[in-house]
Structure 1
Amino acid sequence: MTSRVFKLSALFVATSAILSGHAFADDGKKDIEKIQVLGDKHSNYLAVEAETATKLGISIKETPQSVRVVTRALMDDFSLDDVNQVLETTPGVSVEKIETDRTYYKARGFDIVNFQVDGLGLPQERGSLQGTLDTAIYQRIEVVMGANGMMTGAGNPSATVNFIRKRPTADLRADVSVTAGSWSNKRVEADVSGSFNDMVSSRAVVVKQKRDSYLDRYAVDREVFYGITEFALTDTTTLTTSLTYQSNDADSPLWGALALFDNKGQPTNYDVSTSTAADWAYWNNTSKQAFVELEQYIGDEWSVIARYAHTQNEQDSNLFYVYGTPDAETGLGLTGYASDYQLRDRLNLFDVYARGSFELFGQEHIVAFGASEADMYYFDRSLYDYQTGNGFPPMPNMNEWDGVAPVPTLVDVNPAAPGSDVHSEQSSQYISARFSLTDDLKLLAGLRYTNWETQGLSYGNNKGRKDSDTTPHIGLVYSVNDDINVYISDTDTFAPQTETNANGSQLAPIIGDTQELGVKAELFDSRLMLNVALFNAEQVNIAVADVDNSTPDKTVHKAAPGIQSKGYEIELSGELGYGFSANLGYTKTDIDVSDTFNAGNVEAQLVKDYTPKQVFKLAVKHDVESIEGLSFGMNMRWQDEISRIQNATENFVTKQDAYAIVNFMASYEINDQVNLTFNANNVFDEKYINSLYWAQGFYGAPRNYALTLNWSL
């Protein structure tokens, strides 16, 4: 595995040497594409600019949607080494850990399926992330709340997550950190950046981590390599190339999780460490990405940016699932289920757009327009053991099981439908503009036309479809004064679907819509930002079973009104004064499911129950004035009660009471180059179910610790 990382490293260095040109110029014109983060990496949680909601290069305060940002400083302080930890800290986002190596994310009651890298949308149909995505390569992570049809086209009115990668620096910088923690956690991370000469600047990040787990038998071996090089081919032309490699090899991972109720409807109460994974199970995830970007400035006001991205994900796994309902007295009644699962997922994406400003009627206006083409291929295969008897073994009481299960013979017994072989193409054209109606009133408006075509089969089901849609967005921002803006916006998304109606026609796409009214204020000389927003999000035209026109051999569908979500969000981020930095957020969400949708889709009625109505998140750090270099901090999240109806006939319901997870940190700068950070997580040892997104679930990590030594040049 390590050799593959070094091969990528060699390729990256060779590419840099071949393409060397003039060094990247620190020209004021290029600020339009850069992210500004106030304060150094150890002291500030405030970000003022983002590229997630538009391509216009406007600030967060000028954007008529809620934008959340987790800065590098916050990630470093609380050792947020993977995306799950970052999004658990992000106000308004719910992290649904259904398994150890597969996670879904929700916002405003809807699944998050839109993800970007440096503002480049990566089309996909599945909202889950496989494996655990490491955060060492990112400078910050942005989340724009609500629909975001301008940047992503197809999707849900939930949120868009944008991973902003680290960029090269002109001066030489180096960071090396070593972490040791609970459950034999060992992690080494190195980050080196600078100029090779006057012709090229580069940055490389390498991570190696091995750890066991609080879960029985579970262990992870992770490797990350990231390399990026910037070249200024001329004073106005910049070329950027990058490679990313990440492997996440898991032993005895969860596929599915624990039964949450017994045959009497009573909640099960397993040990926190209980796992349904067999000792021979594994789940290896490998991700590779290559990016090329060419930016050309035309005069002082315009630029053209062309980007190409190639991503490739592969999975190799032998998994063990446990299903059924245990007996209340004996714990028996569960059955094992073994599978060999293979996956290949490939994306080629090309995006080109122009951006600039112009004057009209005495005001300056900004416009961006462009087009993108995406080619996607998805293949997976599931193999089972229906022959030897080892594929579906009866299970003992899970409290007494040691992970020993018969080894199955996993073969293809159904060649006609062993998995998926699906090819999709997406073509988009878009335009967005901000018009200055007056000095204080700005109109943001745009359109995106998306054409989506899919061909192929998935487990015997025809995934063929052809859809197109135009998604508008519009917003008004009014500057009350230099510090306070109020805004209103309406944004759309669409999502193609393959279901057909009684006439055999494919149903029209699902339409998502978000209206938002809010205020953004910069306080205390712009050291603190407040965002208060009221939102109303809705998704309509969702396929449900048409019972009246279906037959035992064929189910047809009809469109239903769907789900409505409304509520409000409050976020405060930046410096509070007296040495305190904070990022806090409160979200109140009310979900309403239409009667038509409820009747045709059993899962729909569960959304309202397993989505917390109230969530509060707080990350705060205090620099101790009396002891130079010493800092303390707390990172906590609280949510109210959630539940899931498991059996409506028997009235079996799983409940998770309201709970809070509290993490502490202490950091001391031994000198200008050496820093020591101690993290204590779940300090009150709260026992809780990670998610009720599925009928099964597993417990969150108990109290644990980590110590990190960081050296910086």
Structure 2
Amino acid sequence: MAKKMGGGCARQAWNAILLASAAMGPMTIAPAAQAQDTAARRFDIPAQPLADALVAFGIQSGLQVTANGAPLRGIRTQGVSGTMAPVQALSRLLSGTGFTFRITGDAVTLERAPQASGDSAIRLGPVRVEGQGTASGHFSPTTDLAATEGSGSYTASGPSMTATGLSMSLRETPQSVTVVTRQKMDDFGLETLADVLEQAPGVTVTRQGSAIDFGSRGNALNLRIDGNRHYTSAPWYFLTSSMYSLDDIADIDRIEIVKGSTGLTDGDGYYGGTINLIRKRPTPEFQASLSATGGSWNSYRADADISGPVNASGTIRARGVAAWRDAGTFRDHESEKNVMLYGTVDIDLTPDTLLNLGVNYKHRVQRGYGATRPVMAYNGAGDFIGLQPRSFNPGAPWAGYKQDALNLFGSLEHQFANGWTARLQFGRERIETPEMRVGVLGNDHGNTYRLYFPDVWQRNEFVSAKLRGPFDFLGRTHELVIGAGASSSRTRNRQSIGLHLSGDQFPYDYAAGGAAIPRPTADELAGTAFSSDRWFTKRHHVYAAGRFSIADPLHVIAGIRVSSFDQRNHSDAYDFYNYSLRERGVVTPYGGITLDVLRNVTLYGSYARIFQAQNALDVNGNTLPPLRGITYETGVKGEFFDKRLNASLSYFWMKADNEAEATGEYVKGTTQQAYRPVMGATRRGFEVEISGEILPGWQTQGSFALNDSSLNSASRNPKHQFKLNSSYSVRNGPLAGLSFGGGLRWQSAISVANTAVTLRQDAYWLADMMARYQVNERLTFGINADNLLDKRYFSGVTNFTDLFYTWGEPRNVKASVQYRF
């Protein structure tokens, strides 16, 4: 068979072979390839006879297609055009033809599609994918082309839209993108968002008491779920720290992390990057599993996952996930209970129209809550208080909260015959905290913070729409996405005033911990005043972005977003929280370029911006202009071993303009501090990352990152960081079914200082371990150990004039069992 095709004679020869095979016996198109390859690529197949179109598909995809005597003569297709995965392209090519297909290993076989009961319409049946690797026998494909569940891989082969809204592979995206797959989460027992980010390349996790901060490149990260913005900045920091970070992720397929400014898709926010959690979708075939875990500090967890078709034709598919956790921690009298319920349904309204609806419910109970107060090391005078044991908890046993969150969401997607896709997304989230009790040691002078929040609630709502697809210009095919959206967030709470205790009211030994803090009595609560605090934020945006094919190896990505922002705050307790912010028509441009220097190696460069509204005032009482975070990045990316391995090297330079700096003056007519905007606070560095299969059965993900900053506050974050996770699965011999591996985490020193003394955590290493044994195709046992060498280290240091630290987690072990149906 010829390896190259060209000219009319070659095409006529292919057509003759194709039609003869279709009429007389099995028909094969194109050389064998990895059929499970889901990476997006360019397809341009016009409307024509189906037999001719399949020839073109075989050439453009590199896949082997077999029609076992299928009568293709006289059948036409509407064609397919655009950038997409081969499976999606073939589905569109066969739409309305009466055929579906089955994938087994590297073979694609055409089959007659089933007829919907009750009418004469032919529907495209579910696509079967078999033999995708060690885990694929338990998993069925979904409508999410980039799904990682069942891939057995630590890298993503499908497209990502987190950075730009365009559907591009990791190599085609001109920014650093890290993907933590379902396989890695399962292998290393990662149960919460905080667990995942501890292991995620290029991400720092800093703890301040019970609060958890996520960052990248020296700045905080934004949060999205299924591409939609979620609000991680509730008015009070310890309210913020109670949301999302401890959520169970049994319902999540993968977590994508874009490093640097993401103003094109976020509008306003932090310029460290964005976390995007992608939920699991229903499967066209039945699958189910049960798992149970037990570990250190009396920690227990169980989860169940069931998915499959609801009706005989498979046009309605549903999935349900439930998780329960009851766990202590290494701190005295601290515990938490979590329940997560997730349900979603996919409905094929037509062969080209998909409706998805879902609900997510979360219930959390936290006890021994230390809020944002870490453990004191030095007071403001520089006196050393002494290190407390790792079990020390400055929070009171009676402190804590109950929280319920209900998230309703959905999407409607339609695929047009010309390759364009329209998508509408909507959702509403309600978070209720009926009572939050805070009791925490302030410092060694006996200052104790006691707060009651009898009613805290938050409402988040969003709607967005986008249109994405290919278009032809100057003889080349390009891709465009345009979109618009609106969102709002409302928060209300009541908080106690006057329950704090000073040293003379409550003298105690600091080493006694939070257990010594007296709980407010009923009389104290009856006599205290309560504030009424309200916060409201509203956003609107429109955006457009395109990927323009300048030449076969050269592409330019350009986009622009225009955002409007409103925020109104009111607090009875604190005057400085009373302000209104309004921004109109803020423009955040985006630019990128990629050059394929080899078939699987790409050079890239990008420019991205994001903004943050500010409440600081200048001397004339005017609000400072928005803080602008600007990221320049350049690097090289590669795909190797049939795209089973991704590697990248990036260099970034980041600048913050309009940073607020105190002038030493007062706002005219007030006693309020005045500020001026400062230009050019900078960060720069590089990152090397690798993810995927480096040898058969050997999966790895790791990175080395350097982040250098001109800001004094940068010492709280490590300048250097190294993370590596790796596992090996034995596929043959007496140990077949055994997987084992480990992880290494290293970071350079961090520190904080006041005028008298510096608190420093030197560089340190952490080691983790995992092992799993698959007894048979249904039953699997596993064990995980974190901080295997029991390193004592600070997971965060804090300057409140007094200097504080938060202990990192000691060695802990858990065992698990999983059964698949």
TM-score by length of 1: 0.89
Aligned partner of 2:432 in structure 1 is: 314
Aligned partner of 1:596 in structure 2 is: none
Question: SS of 1:449's equivalent?
Answer: strand
Distance between the aligned counterparts of 1:317 and 1:670, measured in 2?
A: 46
Distance between the aligned counterparts of 2:167 and 2:142, measured in 1?
A: 6
Distance between the aligned counterparts of 2:593 and 2:153, measured in 1?
A: 33
Aligned partner of 2:722 in structure 1 is: 616
Residues 702 and 38 from structure 1, CA distance in 2 versus in 1: closer, same or farther, beyond 3 angstroms?
closer
Aligned partner of 1:687 in structure 2 is: 792
Question: SS of 1:437's equivalent?
Answer: strand
1:124-150 per-position Cα deviation (integer Å, ceiling 9, x unaligned): 645954251111110000000100111
Aligned partner of 2:214 in structure 1 is: 105
Distance between the aligned counterparts of 2:792 and 2:322, measured in 1?
A: 34
1:541-597 per-position Cα deviation (integer Å, ceiling 9, x unaligned): 02222213458722222112263110000000011115311001110010013xxxx
1:494 aligns with 2:611: yes
1:654 aligns with 2:759: yes
Q: CA RMSD in A?
A: 2.4
Aligned partner of 2:169 in structure 1 is: 59
Residues 514 and 264 from structure 1, CA distance in 2 versus in 1: closer, same or farther, beyond 3 angstroms?
closer
Distance between the aligned counterparts of 2:527 and 2:418, measured in 1?
A: 61
Distance between the aligned counterparts of 1:89 and 1:187, measured in 2?
A: 20
Which residue of the other structure, out of 277, 286, 291, is the alignment partner of 1:163?
277
Task: Please state how far the C-alpha of 1:264 moved relative to its aligned partner.
Answer: 4.4
Contact preservation (8 Å) 2:149, 2:183: no
Aligned partner of 1:675 in structure 2 is: 780
Which residue of the other structure, out of 275, 293, 299, is the alignment partner of 1:179?
293
Question: Which stretch shifts more, 557-566 or 610-619?
Answer: 557-566
Contact preservation (8 Å) 1:259, 1:697: yes
1:666 aligns with 2:776: no
Question: SS of 1:608's equivalent?
Answer: helix
Residues 277 and 38 from structure 1, CA distance in 2 versus in 1: closer, same or farther, beyond 3 angstroms?
closer
Aligned partner of 1:368 in structure 2 is: 481
Distance between the aligned counterparts of 1:531 and 1:142, measured in 2?
A: 15
Contact preservation (8 Å) 1:356, 1:367: yes
Question: Which stretch shifts more, 135-144 or 406-415?
Answer: 406-415
Residues 383 and 35 from structure 1, CA distance in 2 versus in 1: closer, same or farther, beyond 3 angstroms?
farther
Aligned partner of 2:96 in structure 1 is: none
Task: Please state how far the C-alpha of 1:36 moved relative to its aligned partner.
Answer: 2.7
Question: SS of 1:151's equivalent?
Answer: helix
1:134-173 per-position Cα deviation (integer Å, ceiling 9, x unaligned): 1111000000010011111001221100000000000001
1:471-521 per-position Cα deviation (integer Å, ceiling 9, x unaligned): 000000001121100100000001111222112222111111000001001
Contact preservation (8 Å) 1:96, 1:693: no
Residues 38 and 218 from structure 1, CA distance in 2 versus in 1: closer, same or farther, beyond 3 angstroms?
closer
Contact preservation (8 Å) 2:611, 2:628: yes
Aligned partner of 1:450 in structure 2 is: 563
1:373-419 per-position Cα deviation (integer Å, ceiling 9, x unaligned): 112212122214449x699953533434471432213468556xx25
Aligned partner of 1:232 in structure 2 is: 348
Which residue of the other structure, out of 311, 315, 319, is the alignment partner of 1:203?
319
Question: SS of 1:143's equivalent?
Answer: strand
Question: SS of 2:270's equivalent?
Answer: coil
1:49 aligns with 2:173: no
Aligned partner of 1:518 in structure 2 is: 635
1:634-664 per-position Cα deviation (integer Å, ceiling 9, x unaligned): 122110111001x21x2x1110111112110
Aligned partner of 1:464 in structure 2 is: 580
Aligned partner of 2:417 in structure 1 is: 299
Distance between the aligned counterparts of 1:162 and 1:440, measured in 2?
A: 29
Contact preservation (8 Å) 2:349, 2:355: yes
Contact preservation (8 Å) 1:66, 1:145: yes
Question: SS of 2:185's equivalent?
Answer: helix
Contact preservation (8 Å) 1:384, 1:412: no
1:252 aligns with 2:362: no
Letter of the structure 2 residue corresponding to residue 239 of structure 1: L
Aligned partner of 1:189 in structure 2 is: 303
Percent of residue pairs bearing the same amino acid type: 27
Letter of the structure 1 residue corresponding to residue 449 of structure 2: Y
Distance between the aligned counterparts of 1:33 and 1:566, measured in 2?
A: 39
Aligned partner of 1:407 in structure 2 is: 519
Residues 365 and 214 from structure 1, CA distance in 2 versus in 1: closer, same or farther, beyond 3 angstroms?
same
Contact preservation (8 Å) 2:148, 2:183: no
Contact preservation (8 Å) 1:98, 1:694: no
Letter of the structure 2 residue corresponding to residue 51 of structure 1: M
| Structure with larger Rg | 2
Task: Please state how far the C-alpha of 1:32 moved relative to its aligned partner.
Answer: 12
Distance between the aligned counterparts of 1:395 and 1:578, measured in 2?
A: 64
Residues 74 and 395 from structure 1, CA distance in 2 versus in 1: closer, same or farther, beyond 3 angstroms?
farther
Distance between the aligned counterparts of 1:498 and 1:504, measured in 2?
A: 11
Distance between the aligned counterparts of 2:398 and 2:264, measured in 1?
A: 46
Aligned partner of 2:337 in structure 1 is: 221
Letter of the structure 1 residue corresponding to residue 305 of structure 2: D
Contact preservation (8 Å) 1:336, 1:393: no
Distance between the aligned counterparts of 1:33 and 1:512, measured in 2?
A: 35
Residues 43 and 556 from structure 1, CA distance in 2 versus in 1: closer, same or farther, beyond 3 angstroms?
closer
Letter of the structure 1 residue corresponding to residue 448 of structure 2: G
Distance between the aligned counterparts of 2:666 and 2:517, measured in 1?
A: 45
Task: Please state how far the C-alpha of 1:525 moved relative to its aligned partner.
Answer: 2.9
Q: Can you give the 5+ residue segments of structure 1 that lack an aligned partner in the other structure?
A: 1-20, 327-332, 594-604
Contact preservation (8 Å) 1:337, 1:393: no
TM-score by length of 2: 0.77
Distance between the aligned counterparts of 1:275 and 1:22, measured in 2?
A: 65
Question: SS of 2:265's equivalent?
Answer: helix
Contact preservation (8 Å) 2:294, 2:301: yes
Contact preservation (8 Å) 1:32, 1:57: no
Task: Please state how far the C-alpha of 1:362 moved relative to its aligned partner.
Answer: 1.6
Question: Which stretch shifts more, 364-373 or 129-138?
Answer: 129-138
Aligned partner of 1:633 in structure 2 is: 741
Letter of the structure 2 residue corresponding to residue 147 of structure 1: S
Question: Which stretch shifts more, 65-74 or 128-137?
Answer: 128-137
Question: SS of 1:56's equivalent?
Answer: coil
1:209-264 per-position Cα deviation (integer Å, ceiling 9, x unaligned): 10111100001111000000010111111111000011121111112121122554
Which residue of the other structure, out of 399, 423, 426, is the alignment partner of 2:539?
426
Question: Which stretch shifts more, 552-561 or 237-246?
Answer: 552-561
Distance between the aligned counterparts of 2:288 and 2:629, measured in 1?
A: 45
Which residue of the other structure, out of 258, 263, 273, is the alignment partner of 1:144?
258
Contact preservation (8 Å) 1:47, 1:69: no
Aligned partner of 1:18 in structure 2 is: none
Letter of the structure 1 residue corresponding to residue 407 of structure 2: Q
Aligned partner of 1:120 in structure 2 is: 228
1:322-343 per-position Cα deviation (integer Å, ceiling 9, x unaligned): 112x3xxxxxx33221111342
Contact preservation (8 Å) 1:244, 1:290: yes
1:649-703 per-position Cα deviation (integer Å, ceiling 9, x unaligned): x2x1110111112110110001110000101111110111111255433211211
Question: Which stretch shifts more, 376-385 or 161-170?
Answer: 376-385
